Amino acid sequence: MDATEKRLHEAAIIVDAVCPLLDDQERIADYQAGGLTAIAPTVGYWHGAAVTLRTLGSWHRLLRERDGLILVRTAADIRKAKAQDKTGIILHFQGPAPIEDSLDLIDAFKGLGVGIMQLAYNVKNRIGDGCEERTDAGLSRFGLQVVERMNQARMIVDCSHTGVQTTMDAIEHSSAPVIISHANAKSVYPSPRNISDEMIKAIAGNGGTIGVVGFPGFVSANKRPTIDQFIDHIAHMCDLVGAQHVTLGIDYYSGQSPYMEDAASLKEYKAYLAENIWSPNAYPEPPHIYPAGIETPKTMLALTEALLRRGFTADDIRKIYGENLLRIYETIWGE
């Protein structure tokens, strides 16, 4: 390991914008070991407001009890976390189920610190279609109202897991940049969860960003992707739209190896299939082993080393790691 690589990694603001692994709050330590500045637990999935409030309550209690954590409401909170050697916590919904049918719940959850919400999670909902739905309709009337209210509340519109036309409608109707917090390039590996070059260009064209994912089924056909196969997605997006639109949404999760035994992971996987949350077309059977070298967030320094080997400049790496998302956060949340 070169001392220059270590200095770059330690000096950079590093944001992983999608962290469902933090369903187990003790995994914060793994991200801290990897040098992450800010991490984004998924605090809302496919449950309604009551369940989601309990989850949020547990995070607010943790933030009160642990001096080393900072609730991120603005970009300045991430800079503060870096300066004070603390960890920023970004609250994120993967899907709109927590708002039920109430626009006012958008304001309520924003008041509780939820800064980002996906419009769908793979399947159809009242807002629009998910990316694995058999139809590809755009935003509903309620969906248009949701985007407008999110803009007014300064909540970031995230079109990960969202259908193509619903995403394009969100870009057209949003007054703020729309992001895709986690999706890879379909032209590099054609998973149904990945996005086309046209979509990458559309997100970049509206000022947004795309986060590259480590989930093996979105990286390559290999059960154990290499770190270079992961970087292939970063390189493609950078070539297509520039490094200023590429971020990290690695999506480590509790069912992956080595955090869950294979038998338990397979049982959970089959339940997701039965509930139509996942499909076998996009999500291969476990074990889910993340790219070699960054199998867990503890060894994120390996990504810095690999990006430098691939010819990425220190400036590009700093953008991808945190500066691009800080720009989005400043634009939508405020400085």
Query: For 241-276, what is each residue's pLDDT tens digit?
Result: 999 999 999 999 999 999 999 999 999 999 999 999
Per-residue pLDDT at 110 exceeds 80? yes
Give the integer Cα–Cα distance in Å for 68 and 156: 25
| Size of the chain, expressed as the number of residues it contains | 335
The reported pLDDT for the residue numbered 335 is 81
How many CB atoms sit inside 10 A of residue 319's CB?
A: 24
The reported pLDDT for the residue numbered 111 is 98
| Residues 264-323: tens digit of each pLDDT | 999 999 999 999 999 999 999 999 999 999 999 999 999 999 999 999 999 999 999 999
Percent of the chain with pLDDT over 70: 100
Q: Which residues pair with residue 210 across a beta bridge?
A: 180, 246
Give the integer Cα–Cα distance in Å for 236 and 312: 12
* Total domains, the chain: 1
Nearest to 230, CA basis, from 209, 241, 246? 246
Residue 245, C-beta contacts closer than 8 angstroms, at least 6 positions apart? 200, 203, 204, 208, 209, 210, 237, 324
Per-residue pLDDT at 108 exceeds 80? yes
Q: What is the mean pLDDT of the chain?
A: 97
Predicted model pTM: 0.97
The average pLDDT across 15-25 equals 98
Give the integer Cα–Cα distance in Å for 28 and 19: 10
Domain CATH code at residue 145: 3.20.20.140
The average pLDDT across 200-204 equals 98
Give the integer Cα–Cα distance in Å for 30 and 58: 19
The reported pLDDT for the residue numbered 2 is 72
Q: Rg of the chain over CA atoms, in angstroms? A: 18
Per-residue pLDDT at 196 exceeds 70? yes
Per-residue pLDDT at 225 exceeds 90? yes
Please check whether residue 254 is in contact with residue 30, taking contact to mean a CB–CB distance below 8 angstroms.
no
The reported pLDDT for the residue numbered 1 is 54
- pLDDT band at 3; cut points 50, 70, 90: confident
Nearest to 209, CA basis, from 230, 170, 181? 181
Q: Which domain holds residue 85?
A: 3-332
The separation between CA 173 and the C-alpha centre of its own chain, rounded to angstroms, equals 22
Reply yes or no: is the peptide bond before residue 192 cis, omega within 30 of 0. Answer: no
